A = this chain, B = another copy of it.
Amino acid sequence: MTYEIIKELTTTKKDKTPDHQLGFGKRFTDHMFSMDYEEGKGWHNAKITEYKPIELSPAATVLHYGQAVFEGLKAYATEAGEILLFRPDQNFKRLNRSNERLCIPAIDEEFALYALKELLQIDRDWVPTSEGTSLYIRPFIIATEPYLGVSPAKNYKFMIIMSPVGSYYAEGINPIKILVEQHYVRAVAGGTGEAKAGGNYASSLKGSELANAQGYAQTLWLDGKEHQYVEEVGSMNIFFKIAGKVITPALNGSILAGITRDSMINVLKSKNIPVEERKIAFLEIVEAANNGTLEEVFGTGTAAVISPVGYLKWSDGAIDVNNGQIGEVTQMLYDTLTGIQYGKLEDTFGWTIKL
């Protein structure tokens, strides 16, 4: 940690939105972190300043060739007034894996976490305290070189912005309806699916738009090669409980290695609930539904926490899961995860860090 953070704090603080009016990702705290990269010079110019627009050349690589990566994590307020982060080291590790795939220079993971903590300390009063609310944290890196040739940029900007977010389940945990996408593809092996890179999300917009228009909350993506194997859902990994065993797609190179996914696998193991990571044909889920062994379906992700799935629709039919009710294991995972994140349960895994 040889960087110094220049702090140019603002004295004009923004009004805060009441917790019950918080949505997702529309309001931002008073400050942001930024740091620049220049070929030959490396990462430098670490700063915490007022949250404000940035200036970019119209020829900046990120605007043309999508050379950009991001992360998403949350800070949680405990009843005791402490602030907890959930496995933030994993986010910066994954950011560097995304960097590697997108030819973006690695960041110093330890320094990034230090910078995040400094920023959080300054905007500490932005962490909402009502049940289920949190402060969403978005680290991201964009290529800023003003050059239209298609090649890795020589200049980058690493930023962290933060947004207070409402409870995903303000109206209770209601199982969602999902549409299985059989035409559009989010990512394919050899592509960037494993990275948290813009292109995957840009590619997913069309399918999501069609799903939303038909009343589905999310899209279930199938593999890009055969359109047969389950990949993941919008911004969640997916799990199925079949005949007492929990299964989830293996990390095959085209899905995101979710940190919630990894955590839930560990919780399941700690409770001696059988869990398997492997290739899963969508037809297998259909069969399990038909023979009555499909017990639960749920998604895992930082934004949506644990999200029960109550209905799956595909071209040839539909599946009702657990009569549209949240399942036992899903509920247990939700309680365990949020319990640890909000400091209500003992963190036996050592996942949280205190600010």
The interface residues of chain B lying within 8 Å CB-to-CB of A201 are 64-67, 150
Identify A190's interface contact among B149, B184, B198, CB under 8 A: B184
Q: Which of A99-137 contact B (CB under 8 A)?
A: 101-103, 136
Whole-angstrom CA separation of A201 from B192 in the bound complex: 11
Q: Which of A24, A103, A190, A209 lies at the interface centre, i.e. has the most chain B CB atoms within 10 A of its CB?
A: A190
Q: Which of A63, A163, A191 lies at the interface centre, i.e. has the most chain B CB atoms within 10 A of its CB?
A: A63
Selecting from A54-62, A321-329, A333-341, the interface stretch reads A54-62
Q: Which of A36-91 contact B (CB under 8 A)?
A: 51, 53-59, 62-68, 70
Cross-chain contact A202 with B192 (CB below 8 angstroms):
yes
Indicate whether A152 sits within 8 Å of B102 (C-beta atoms), given known contacts A25-B147, A53-B58, A188-B185. Answer: no
The interface residues of chain B lying within 8 Å CB-to-CB of A331 are none
Whole-angstrom CA separation of A204 from B151 in the bound complex: 9
Instruction: Determine whether A189 belongs to the interface, using a CB cutoff of 8 Å to chain B.
Output: yes
Cross-chain contact A190 with B197 (CB below 8 angstroms):
no
Q: Which of A59, A102, A227 lies at the interface centre, i.e. has the most chain B CB atoms within 10 A of its CB?
A: A59
Instruction: Determine whether A208 belongs to the interface, using a CB cutoff of 8 Å to chain B.
Output: yes
Indicate whether A205 sits within 8 Å of B56 (C-beta atoms), given known contacts A191-B188, A224-B188. Answer: no
Cross-chain contact B149 with A25 (CB below 8 angstroms):
yes
Q: Which of A24, A51, A163, A203 lies at the interface centre, i.e. has the most chain B CB atoms within 10 A of its CB?
A: A203
Task: With both chains docked as a complex, state the minimum distance between the C-beta of A229 and any C-beta of chain B, in angstroms.
Answer: 13
Instruction: Determine whether A93 belongs to the interface, using a CB cutoff of 8 Å to chain B.
Output: no
Indicate whether A148 sits within 8 Å of B198 (C-beta atoms), given known contacts A66-B68, A103-B206, A191-B185. Answer: no
The interface residues of chain B lying within 8 Å CB-to-CB of A183 are 190
Cross-chain contact A53 with B57 (CB below 8 angstroms):
yes
Chain B: CB-nearest residue to A152:
B205
Cross-chain contact B150 with A204 (CB below 8 angstroms):
yes
The interface residues of chain B lying within 8 Å CB-to-CB of A146 are 26, 28
Q: Which of A143-198 contact B (CB under 8 A)?
A: 146-152, 159, 161, 163, 183-192, 197-198
Task: With both chains docked as a complex, state the minimum distance between the C-beta of A193 and any C-beta of chain B, in angstroms.
Answer: 10
Whole-angstrom CA separation of A186 from B234 in the bound complex: 21
Task: With both chains docked as a complex, state the minimum distance between the C-beta of A150 and any C-beta of chain B, in angstroms.
Answer: 5
Instruction: Determine whether A142 belongs to the interface, using a CB cutoff of 8 Å to chain B.
Output: yes
Whole-angstrom CA separation of A205 from B101 in the bound complex: 9
> Which residues of A are interface residues toward B (Cβ below 8 A)?
24-26, 28, 32, 51, 53-59, 62-68, 70, 101-103, 136, 138, 140, 142, 146-152, 159, 161, 163, 183-192, 197-206, 208-209, 212, 224-227, 234-235
| Top 7 A-B residue pairs of the complex, sorted by shortest distance between their CB atoms | A199-B199, A66-B198, A25-B148, A185-B190, A66-B202, A65-B201, A188-B188
Known: A25-B149, A102-B205, A191-B191. 10 other contacts (CB 8 A): A53-B58, A64-B198, A64-B201, A65-B202, A184-B191, A188-B225, A189-B224, A192-B202, A192-B203, A199-B203
* 20 examples of A-B residue contacts, CB within 8 angstroms: A28-B58, A53-B55, A53-B57, A53-B58, A54-B58, A56-B56, A59-B163, A62-B62, A64-B138, A65-B205, A66-B68, A66-B202, A102-B205, A150-B205, A151-B209, A184-B190, A186-B191, A189-B224, A198-B198, A199-B200
